[in-house]
Structure 1
Amino acid sequence: MLEKRQVEQEVTTTEEDVLNLREEIESVSQRGSGASSSVSIDADTITVNNEDEYIQITNQLDQSAEQGFTWSLLDGQGYQNLSWTTGVAAIEGEDTPGVVAFRSVAGEDSSEITYRVEFRNLCSESSGEVSKVDIESDGQTRASGSTEITFTNDGEEVSNTVIPDGACEGRTTRTSTQIGIQLG
């Protein structure tokens, strides 16, 4: 019973840390160029995926958890335009700019739980603008143990992007806030 409570506390602590990470990245993205912050997370592995632009936090648990091969949302709204889903843009007001998703893989005596912080293209139907928080590692892309994750707003970049379908079809301007990530 004590072991189960310890595992539950570990999961709760990690979830709080990951939610705080997403909130801090979003806050830094809104404060303008040069803004920065950091969050400490203790995890078995922390990975920044530069290609699909997400941060993944994985922990091994000493007991079996419920199996969940598919991603579920812990925080955020809507599944459009995430690395494991379809769609070119999410809709402002229906979806959130960023999400925290999780899944678990159960073993016989242990399990692995993975959290993912991810941002996506968000289209405003009223203004026609598409925006995104782009995250990319400024150095190493993998760390383990107690890790300080530092992120800095590197400014905005405007590009021409054509949304091929959906409510924002034909939009051509995308403003992305560049967030540099450092694991240390």
Structure 2
Amino acid sequence: MNEISPETQDWEHDPVVLLERHLWPLAPALLRAALDRDAAIVARASVDEAVATLGGRWEDLLAPYDVQIDDAQRATVAETAAWLSELRPRVGADGWLAEAAEATREAEERVKAALDIFRKVFISTVIARQEEHAHRASNNALRLIQLHRKLERIAAHAAFEASRLGDDAGGVAAVAEELRTLTEVTRQTVDEVEQKTRRL
């Protein structure tokens, strides 16, 4: 499963952006095919690309991110792929000029609906992971704060015992000093973690 975060996300390879690139040429190609018979070859290739993308390539692009798509969303995407498959033989055929505008409009609407599904589930996945990271970071910060407080108490007891023993406190005084230093380090770490947690 790929980690998704604004810091690590390469938007050039974002799966939704890649899906859009596969589907974007469809509508203009359908309209060009109405005006130029030679453009029908390109339009059919664009339909084939869209069918392949909506017929299963999307799963390959989203799988590394563990994106979950429910059955209704999956059915919408599959229906769009099936509709485009049925449209393909008509592209550039006799009568395409009369049908092109309406078919292009419907293709745009169907592809937009599929892309909206992909965006929604991908963004939901990103948000869920960020919430999970924030929750984990918050729990870790809480543990660090608890550890820091315990270290402060132990350092205070060791310092008290060292002062009570006076000149005979050699080892206890050294332990008290180490504990004081460790307490300062944990305080700095707690501050850093709290700042990062607030940013999440």
> Is the TM value for this pair above 0.5?
no
Identify the structure with the greater strand proportion: 1
| Greater relative CO, 1 or 2 (CA 8 Å, sep 6+) | 1
Question: TM-score, normalised to structure 2's length?
Answer: 0.28
Larger-gyration structure (1/2): 2
TM-score (norm 1): 0.29
Is the helix fraction higher in 1 or 2? 2
